[in-house]
Amino acid sequence: MASDEKGPTGPDLSKGILASDLRDGAMLAGHIGEDAVLLARQNGRLFALSAHCTHYHGPLADGLLVGATARCPWHHAHFSLETGEAIAAPALSPLTCWQVEERAGNIFVKSKKAQPPTKTTGSTNEHIVIVGGGAAGFAAAEMLRRRGFAGRVTMLSNDDAAPVDRPNLSKDYLAGSAPEDWVPLRGNDWYAENKIDLKLKTDVVSLDAKSKELTLESGSKIKFDKLLLATGAEPVRLDIPGADQPHVHTLRSLGDCRAIIDQAKTAKRAVVIGASFIGLETAAALRARDIEVHVVAPEKRPLERVFGPQLGDFIRALHEEHGVKFHLENSITAIDGKGAVLKNGGTIDADVVVIGVGVRPRVALAEKAGLAIDKGVSVNEYMETSANGIYAAGDIARWPDAISGERIRVEHWVVAERQGQVAALNMLGIPTPFGSAPFFWSQHYDVPINYVGHAEKWDTIDIEGDVVKRDCVVRHKRGGRVLAVASIYRDKESLEAGVAMEHKAAKA
Ligand SMILES: Cc1cc2nc3c(=O)[nH]c(=O)nc-3n(C[C@H](O)[C@H](O)[C@H](O)COP(=O)(O)OP(=O)(O)OC[C@H]3O[C@@H](n4cnc5c(N)ncnc54)[C@H](O)[C@@H]3O)c2cc1C
Ligand code: FES
């Protein structure tokens, strides 16, 4: 998603605006010098904060005010109006706050406020270990330090790269429109500055939940007081002849992405196996590199199982408009040299093949340790597993979702980060149930699709607006109840739907 590089617009808030121009519950964007500033009045109080989200620069004035928070329209981050803190991911850094004054019928924004000091919490002797350097693991470590945890934090990851913005690996970075320095979630210095002992290329092979000890592949042992398992998911590989060749890839890590980019530099043709989110986003990214792309998948319509037929047809047409060739109700039976052999006959030559046929949660550590497993690692609403002091978050966690009333496991970036944050707060002794509406976004060319809620099955799809015109809210319902809402360029409705789901669940 591109950031807004234009200079700040709207009124000069240092000169003041009429107080009557800002009703209660409203926001407006203005500026103080070169700083874009959001002015908000909520429950009779005035707030002034940076106008753009610290995630991808979303315009907060187009979002929502909910209680004491401002919500970003693009990927639903929550910011405290009072302090600017990024309370709920995907934004992690705070907004700057300004002093505001209402005087003689006018509102003036004054000087910048200082960030409130961090209070230290926990014992310096305590050791929290995080297994996993992805969305959930990183967000947990960041939250522990943000809340002043005084003890040791160790993050173990078998990846060779420090935590990255994984969604970018199938979008702008893969397409060549984002430089690599956008990809790390934080620079290397950040870990040392925040006393997070990040150990990369470190595979954890076993967990003893009773003696609170991990064993690494090297044989060395690490003791912990509290543990977060955030091992994520791994791509399903295809057991077909030729799938082990160097031009055949899956896409999960920065290393996987670099390998695809390397070959994409000279490739003329690509085959993407699987019309999943990752498969189709990869197709779009490779088209941006002017590579001929063939998508081969067994289903009749791409993403119909998640979105329903109308959005499925739209997504197919959108990719076809950009030159993608679909081979649906078909599969690849072998990759013979550079030729991908179609089940229904024929071969497609490809210099690069990307397999995007889904992922499996990495539950082996938890399972071998005897933790409760239920198609994922079972956790309660505080993200704690069946073992005291051991938490799990992200793609591996199956939790009691208060919104659907079901135990669910999802593979969404924002959910993983927020669960990591919630696990961190609970590890610090701040009881915090996970109550966020599941949210994900996907980007296909210039079309972002937002999805809030969770619907595995539905009996009705209500469409407001026009899918083909890229202006719609698509509600998935069962028994008259809205389970999930997909939307295109209807950010406010998407935010409102998530808030309504959360409020309903909180009241139940
Ligand atoms: C290319 C791509 C694009 C995506 N785009 C989107 C998107 O647009 N929107 C969206 O909502 N979601 C998206 N997702 C999904 C999202 O990235 C995941 O849901 C999220 O990363 C899950 O976070 P996690 O922390 O559970 O796992 P991960 O981020 O996968 O992190 C797991 C970590 O654990 C480490 N690990 C695993 N096992 C061990 C072990 N035994 N020892 C040590 N370390 C271990 C791994 O190396 C990794 O560092 C995308 C995923 C991919 C791959
Ligand atoms: S731009 Fe604000 S949450 Fe992504």
109-123, 135-149, 336-350: range with lowest mean pLDDT: 109-123
Q: How far is CA 144 from CA 187, 243, 379, in A?
A: 18, 42, 20
Residue range 118-137: mean pLDDT, rounded: 95
For the cut 70, the answer to whether the pLDDT of residue 52 exceeds it is yes
Distance 165 CA to ligand 1 centre (A): 9
Confidence (pLDDT) at 57:
97
**Reported confidence tier of residue 2, pLDDT bands at 50, 70, 90:** very low
Kindly provide the b/e burial profile for residues 71-107, where b requires at least 16 CB atoms within 10 angstroms of the residue's own CB: bbbbbbbbbbbebbbbbbbbbbebbbbbebeeeeeeb
State the pairing for strand pair 406-408/347-349. unpaired
Average pLDDT over residues 236-257: 97
* Distance of alpha carbon 239 from alpha carbon 64, whole angstroms: 47
Q: Which atom of ligand 2 is nearest to the CA of 76?
A: 3
The ligand whose atoms approach the alpha carbon of 250 most closely is: 1
Mean pLDDT value across residues 80-89 = 97
Residue 508 DSSP SS3: coil
Q: Do the beta carbons of residue 271 and residue 245 sit within 8 Å?
A: no
Q: For residue 155, is pLDDT > 50?
A: yes
- Residue 259's pLDDT is 98
Find the mean pLDDT for residues 359-366: 98
Question: 500 pLDDT band (50/70/90 cuts)?
Answer: very high
70 Cβ inside 6 Å of ligand 2: no
Q: Would you say the CB of residue 439 lies under 6 angstroms from ligand 2? A: no
Angle between helical axes of 277-288 and 309-321 (0-180°, round to 10): 20
pLDDT at 402 over 60: yes
DSSP secondary structure letter of residue 380: -
**376 pLDDT more than 50:** yes
| pLDDT interval class at 453 (50, 70, 90) | very high
| pLDDT exceeds 80 at position 270 | yes
Nearest ligand 1 atom to alpha carbon 203: 42
Quote the pLDDT of residue 6.
Answer: 63
Q: What confidence score (pLDDT) does residue 4 get?
A: 47
Q: What is the largest CA-CA distance in the chain?
A: 78
Residue 399 confidence (pLDDT)? 98
pLDDT of residue 508: 78
Q: Is 440 in the pocket of ligand 1 (CB under 6 A)?
A: yes
Cβ of residue 441 lying under 6 Å from some atom of ligand 2: no
Q: Which atom of ligand 2 is nearest to the CA of 75?
A: 3
Distance from Cα 415 to the centre of ligand 2, integer Å: 14
Mean pLDDT of 405-434: 97
135-146 and 413-427 helices cross at what angle (nearest 10)?
40
Within 8 A by CB and 6+ apart from 418, the residues are: 88, 89, 139, 434, 436
Q: 396 C-alpha vs ligand 1 centroid, how far in Å?
A: 10
Look at ligand 2, atom 3, and give the residue with the nearest C-alpha: 75
Q: What are residue 302's DSSP bridge partners?
A: none
Atom of ligand 2 nearest to the CA of 1: 1
Long-range contacts of the stretch 220-224 (C-beta < 8 A, 24+): 222/129, 222/154, 222/156, 223/127, 224/127, 224/128, 224/129, 224/154
Q: In this structure, how many other beta carbons lie within 10 angstroms of the beta carbon of residue 219?
A: 7
Mean pLDDT of all residues in 390-418: 97
Residue nearest to atom 4 of ligand 2 (CA): 75
By DSSP bridging, strand 17-18 and strand 97-103 are unpaired
Q: How far is CA 236 from CA 239, 337, 341, 372, in A?
A: 9, 21, 19, 23
pTM of the predicted structure, to 2 decimals:
0.97
> What phi, psi does 472 have (nearest 5°)?
-155, 155
Cβ(319)–Cβ(277) under 8 Å?
no
Determine if ligand 1 sits within 6 Å of the CB of residue 89: no
Contact 439, 90 (CB under 8 A): no
Structure tokens at 144: 């522990």
Q: Is the pLDDT of residue 212 over 50?
A: yes
Indicate the pLDDT class of residue 117, thresholds 50, 70 and 90.
confident
